[in-house]
């Protein structure tokens, strides 16, 4: 057995405002996050993407195994390959794989099988979940862990003034092939990152957020 080592907690984030105010200020930032499906081709630097991924990689994870990989794609040919494969799956989805209730639920969002954003957005961050560590060891709560990391990724992008889309083409196996990922990585989420297109429109239906009394219970 190894004895755990500890160090004093020193590098502490201290907001300039007290918690009530800081929480409100952050909420005012985050409540403006909107999923965007019309992206501008305006470039975003690789350094920016590296910083977003570093934030995502700071998420907590089961036994600190950090069971994630962020494959960042800016190469046009690779983006095109992803778009083509994704659209093939989406055509099958909209043409019958989805049941009637699912299609009805999507109607207000105005989605369809056209995924131009997969070529237009300057970056696609493809988030993979590790089902085994790179050394073959176990991982714990990988789905929860990578979900937390993905949330931080979206928050980091929004905080940097960039738009994202949480895209889950289904099934996603083609991402492993196109991106030549090893067997211990499973596609989890595809996140286009960039600026919204000039004149970008967003669906009214997606604006509604459940009020606090619907999502919060205090005991």
Q: Could you list the residues that contact ligand IYR (CB under 6 A)?
A: 90, 93, 106, 109, 111, 167-170
Closest CA to 111 of 199, 207, 203: 203
Q: How far apart are the first and last CA of the chain?
A: 40
Q: How far is the CB of 199 from ligand IYR (least distance, A)?
A: 21
Distances (CA, A) of 25 to 22, 149, 188, 208: 5, 22, 31, 20
Q: Which is nearer to ligand IYR, 28 or 101 (CB)?
A: 101
Q: Which is nearer to ligand IYR, 90 or 185 (CB)?
A: 90
Distance between CA atoms of residues 172 and 203, nearest Å: 25
| Tokens at 204, concatenated | 């009214």
Q: Which is nearer to ligand IYR, 93 or 188 (CB)?
A: 93
Q: How far is the CB of 168 from ligand IYR (least distance, A)?
A: 6
Closest residue to bound ligand IYR by CB: 111
Q: Which is nearer to ligand IYR, 50 or 112 (CB)?
A: 112
CA quadruple 94, 128, 196, 46: dihedral sign: negative
């Amino acid at each position: 057995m190894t004895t755990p080592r500890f160090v004093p907690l020193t590098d502490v984030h201290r907001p300039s405002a007290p918690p009530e105010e800081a929480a409100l200020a952050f909420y005012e930032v985050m409540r403006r996050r909107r999923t965007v499906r019309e992206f501008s081709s305006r470039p975003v630097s690789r350094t920016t993407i590296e910083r977003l991924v570093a934030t995502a990689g700071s998420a907590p994870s089961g036994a600190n195994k950090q069971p994630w990989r962020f494959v960042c794609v800016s190469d046009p040919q690779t983006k095109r390959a992803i778009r083509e494969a994704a659209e093939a799956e989406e055509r099958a989805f909209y043409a019958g794989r989805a049941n009637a209730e699912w299609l009805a639920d999507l109607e207000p969002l105005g989605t369809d099988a056209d995924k131009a954003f997969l070529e237009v957005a300057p970056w696609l961050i493809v988030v993979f979940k590790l089902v085994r560590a790179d050394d073959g060891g176990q991982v714990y709560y990988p789905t929860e862990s990578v979900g937390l990391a993905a949330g931080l990724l979206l928050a980091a992008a929004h905080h940097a003034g960039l738009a994202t889309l949480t895209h889950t083409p289904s099934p996603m196996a083609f991402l492993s092939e196109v991106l030549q990922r090893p067997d211990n990585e499973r596609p989890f989420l595809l996140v286009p990152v960039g600026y919204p297109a000039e004149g970008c429109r967003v669906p009214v239906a997606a604006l509604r957020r459940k009020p606090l009394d619907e999502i919060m219970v205090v005991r």
